[in-house]
DNA sequence: CAGCCAATGTAGGCGTCGCCAACAATGCTG
DNA sequence: CAGCATTGTTGGCGACGCCTACATTGGCTG
């Protein structure tokens, strides 16, 4: 559960690796990025790290647990990226929306496979609550933006969730289309501008 | 390649199954719907159909080929559903958009796993051209709607692709969120109305 | 400081999977 | 009706996920 703040001795591999859990996650994400999700194998991961094929099971009870942890760390980083994207941005709706949208799409581009993974942990009935909380953390950011916009009279009235919903949909949908390579490539750049303008039209007074 | 109009003898199983390819696709889609994509195994499929474990390879060179075929049939049916959704709908933008959005989201709900599959065949560099063409067929439908709206003066000016892009994004994004169970359930019904209104605001003059 | 014990890693095995090659039955076609 | 492409069968290979039994380690406690 708690994976931050571990001994992390960084010592030469004797018998105990010292930080196998973190090493597994790191290597797994590299593999995910470079060779796609299909190429993720616990045994190969273990080989890569010079460890026996059953060692990973000490840290992740099964493959899905590793994927969940990967997704969780993805949500954490995404939250950080989105949060940082608002630093120094004037508190006006257009600027804020533009910043967040660009940050989200950028993250999606840089972490396509990971994002896929993050969103496909989904209908797991007992998805770890840590994961659920992580997904909530970044949606809260958008909700706050919309709420503040409403308070400043920049955003139309209406239930917060209902106002923010289409923003999420558009944001997520565009990122997914872009990442999936379903957009004519020349649309890529200008397309983002168009989408941002569309969102702003949709939620403005 | 051509899979429609086959002999389809429907005879008792002797040695040759008679319609194994279609049977594989049908059963595969059931499994996909009922037990998720992870549970799809060629060998199990073969067992279910009372056929040897290597028989499927006569019809699909590998597992991915079967998935591609599944995705292709999904796009075909989706195009049909979306096309049909416009039957008898007045040629006015709001009604047409509402019809198509509801149809798309409905299809997504009824075929969640299949839709996932359809969109993850994506970055396959040599995705069969039949597949590419199928994806294009339904996007053309939305493009046509927007173009007609522009012709009638109901839709803002601008490059067709750029005007339609955010519509796709919102549509796709909402369907994905809904299907992934990432929406508070009470938002489900009214949420669609909200999203439709949002889209209309975004593309209207 | 000694010894115990939980944590961590290893070795091997089981069943399943995708894919391949060799062989067998079928039915279309000349 | 003979030949042959099509379609199915059998068996095998290597890889995978997961399990159990065992080995090594290092921290904690008496």
Residues B68, B133 within the same domain: yes
CA–CA separation, B70 and B30 (whole Å): 11
Which residues is A50 bridged to in the sheet? none
Q: Whose structure tokens read 């967040």?
A: A100
Helix, strand, coil percentages (3-state) for chain A, rounded to 5, are 70, 0, 30
Q: Distance, angstroms, CA B43 to C1' C17?
A: 8
Residues B52, B116 within the same domain: no
Residues A181, A115 within the same domain: yes
B172-196, pLDDT tens digit by residue?
A: 999 999 988 888 777 777 899 999 9
Residue A126 has pLDDT above 90, yes or no: no
End position of a domain, from candidates A14, A41, A60: A60
Sort out which chain A residues have CB atoms less than 8 A from B177's CB and list them.
168-169, 172
Q: What is the pLDDT of residue B39?
A: 93
CA–CA separation, A197 and A94 (whole Å): 8
Residues B91, B187 within the same domain: yes
Check CB contact under 8 Å for A191 and B162: yes
End position of a domain, from candidates B39, B60, B81: B60
**CATH no. for residue A76?**
1.10.357.10
Q: What is the pLDDT of residue A121?
A: 77
Q: What is the pLDDT of residue A11?
A: 42
Q: What is the pLDDT of residue A122?
A: 61
Q: What is the pLDDT of residue B127?
A: 67
Q: What is the pLDDT of residue B94?
A: 96
Inter-residue contact A180 to B119 (CB < 8 Å): yes
List the domain range (segments joined by +) for residue A47: 1-60
Say how many domains are in chain B.
2
CA–CA separation, B139 and B164 (whole Å): 9
Q: Mean pLDDT, consecutive 10-residue segments, chain B of 205 residues?
A: 39 67 97 94 97 97 95 95 97 96 96 93 69 87 96 95 95 92 78 96 92
Inter-residue contact B59 to B140 (CB < 8 Å): no
Residue A157 has pLDDT above 60, yes or no: yes
Check CB contact under 8 Å for A166 and B119: no
Inter-residue contact A46 to A52 (CB < 8 Å): yes
Residues B69, B18 within the same domain: no
Higher pLDDT, A167 or B2: A167
CA–CA separation, A166 and B198 (whole Å): 7
Residues B199, B100 within the same domain: yes
Angstrom distances, CA of residue A197 to CA of A100, A155, A173, A192: 13, 14, 15, 9
**CATH no. for residue B18?**
1.10.10
CA torsion, ordered B97, A106, B180, A22, to nearest 10 deg: 180
Angstrom distances, CA of residue A94 to CA of A145, A198, B158: 11, 11, 21
Inter-residue contact A18 to A7 (CB < 8 Å): yes
Residues A118, A31 within the same domain: no
Q: What is the pLDDT of residue A2?
A: 37
Closest residue in B to A172 (Cα) is B173
Dmax (CA) of chain B: 65
Enter the DSSP assignment of A67: H
Q: What is the pLDDT of residue B123?
A: 59
Q: What is the CA radius of gyration of chain A?
A: 20
Q: What is the pLDDT of residue B136?
A: 86
Higher pLDDT, A123 or A76: A76
A133's CB contacts (< 8 A; 6+ apart) are none
End position of a domain, from candidates B17, B43, B60: B60
Q: At residue B15, what are phi and psi to the nearest 5 degrees? A: -105, -50
A45-72, pLDDT tens digit by residue?
A: 999 999 999 999 999 999 999 999 999 9
Decide: helix, strand or coil at residue A181.
coil
Residues A87, A159 within the same domain: yes
Q: Distance, angstroms, CA B16 to C1' C25?
A: 8
CA–CA separation, B113 and B129 (whole Å): 22
Inter-residue contact A66 to A24 (CB < 8 Å): yes
Residues B45, B99 within the same domain: no
Q: Distance, angstroms, CA A65 to C1' D30?
A: 38
Residues B191, B114 within the same domain: yes
| Both structure tokens of A55 | 């060692």
Inter-residue contact B176 to B108 (CB < 8 Å): yes
Q: What is the pLDDT of residue A159?
A: 94
Report the pLDDT averaged over residues A170-193. Answer: 87
Residues B56, B155 within the same domain: no
Residues A78, A48 within the same domain: no
Among B157, B115, B120, B158, which residue's Cα sits nearest to residue B138? B115
Inter-residue contact A146 to B178 (CB < 8 Å): no
Q: At A124, is the pLDDT very low, low, confident or very high (cuts 50, 70, 90)? A: low
CA distance B121 to chain A (A): 9
Within residues 50-69 of protein chain B, the ones with CB less than 7 A from nucleic strand D are 51-55, 58-59
Decide: helix, strand or coil at residue A57.
helix
């Amino acid at each position: 559960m708690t994976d931050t703040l571990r001994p992390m001795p960084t010592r030469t591999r004797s018998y105990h690796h010292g930080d196998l859990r973190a090493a597994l996650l790191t290597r797994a994400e590299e593999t995910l990025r470079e060779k796609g999700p299909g190429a993720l194998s616990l045994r190969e991961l273990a080989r890569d790290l010079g460890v026996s094929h059953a060692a990973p099971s000490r840290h992740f009870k099964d493959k899905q647990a590793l994927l969940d942890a990967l997704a969780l760390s993805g949500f954490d980083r995404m939250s950080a990226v989105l949060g940082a994207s608002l630093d120094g941005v004037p508190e006006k709706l257009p600027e804020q929306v533009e910043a967040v949208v660009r940050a989200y799409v950028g993250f999606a581009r840089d972490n396509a496979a990971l994002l896929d993974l993050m969103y496909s942990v989904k209908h797991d009935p007992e998805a770890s609550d840590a994961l659920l909380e992580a997904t909530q953390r970044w949606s809260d950011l958008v909700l706050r933006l919309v709420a503040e916009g409403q308070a400043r009279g920049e955003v139309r009235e209406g239930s917060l969730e209902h106002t923010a919903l289409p923003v999420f949909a558009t944001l997520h949908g565009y990122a997914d289309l872009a990442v999936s390579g379903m957009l004519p490539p020349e649309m890529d750049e200008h397309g983002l501008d168009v989408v941002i303008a569309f969102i702003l039209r949709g939620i403005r007074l």
